[in-house]
Amino acid sequence: MHIMEGYLPASHAIAWTAVSAPFVAYGGYRLVRIVNKHPETKLLLAASGAFAFVLSALKIPSVTGSCSHATGTGLGAILFGPGVMTLLGTIVLLFQALLLAHGGLTTLGANVFSMAVVGPYVAYGLFRLVRGVGGSLAVAVFLAAAFGDLSTYIVTSAQLAMAFPDPAGGIAGSFAKFGAIFAVTQVPLAIIEGLLTVVVVNVLTSYSRSELESLSLLAREAP
């Protein structure tokens, strides 16, 4: 989902940066608040960032014959809320833009919006929704992480379609092209991300009960 450096027209690059900036600022505010209010969850916060670090570094082959990577932002969004993942996801993207020439500074705003804003918010919203209608923790986590991942790539496709409308098919035609590259490739990867996120949450519910309770992800009850 990395839009490469310089591959968005300047007006688009500026617009996406402006759209993403308030989300990043809100993420910083949320991070400080959580660390102050629940200092005992600091290490879990770092671990959630680490999960995103690992998953976004692994390029996995897909059924389309190309490779892409998961995002890992769903876990932290479920645990700490989406704002915090905006900040952590931005750090991951900045690391990749500066040291790996993956993504870029001019496209950072757009990439932050897809991976660190839409992904975490979709994951968080879906998690709340599925839990609200009585879905089990595992099902809610799976759907949240998988669709958070997929939504990131759909947004990337839309961003590129808006910047590069097809001469014949317009934005819709272009969206179909970029969607075929990104979104279709991402489907099995999104499922993988969903499965792995459930694994981590399973581990957390066994060993980190007190932290999950203080984040009110689990009701206070005898294990």
Question: Which stretches of the chain bind another protein, using CB under 8 A?
Answer: 1-7, 9-10, 43-44, 46-47, 49-63, 65-68, 95-102, 104-106, 156, 160, 164-167, 174, 177-178, 181-182, 185-186, 188, 191-192, 195-196, 198-200, 202-204, 206-208
Nearer to another protein, 82 or 104 (CB): 104
* Nearest residue (CB) to another protein, 26 versus 164: 164
- Over the range 186-196, which residues count as b (16 or more CB within 10 Å of their CB) and which as e? bbebbbbbbeb
Comparing CB distances to another protein, the nearer of 26 and 220 is: 220
Residue 134, φ and ψ in degrees, nearest 5 = 90, 15
Tell me whether residue 132 or residue 206 sits nearer to another protein (CB atom): 206
Q: Which of 49, 57, 125 is CA-nearest to residue 85?
A: 49
**Nearest distance in Å: CB 25, another protein:** 24
Residue 9 per-residue DSSP state:
-
For the bound state, the minimum distance from the C-beta of residue 35 to another protein, rounded and expressed in Å, comes to 16
Q: How far is the CB of 81 from another protein (least distance, A)?
A: 19
Nearer to another protein, 123 or 146 (CB): 146
Angle at 219 between CA 55 and CA 210, to 5 degrees: 65
Contacts of 147 (CB under 8 A, 6+ apart): 122, 123, 126, 190
Between 3 and 116, name the residue whose CB sits nearer to another protein.
3
Residue type, 197: T
Please name the residues in contact with 174: beta carbons below 8 A apart, sequence gap of 6 or more: 160, 161, 164, 165, 166
Q: Which two tokens stand for residue 168?
A: 């014949």
Q: How far is the CB of 156 from another protein (least distance, A)?
A: 8
Report the SS3 class of residue 33: helix
Shortest Cβ distance from residue 55 to another protein (Å)? 8
Smallest distance from another protein to CB 143, Å: 14
Helix (H) or strand (E) holding 64: none
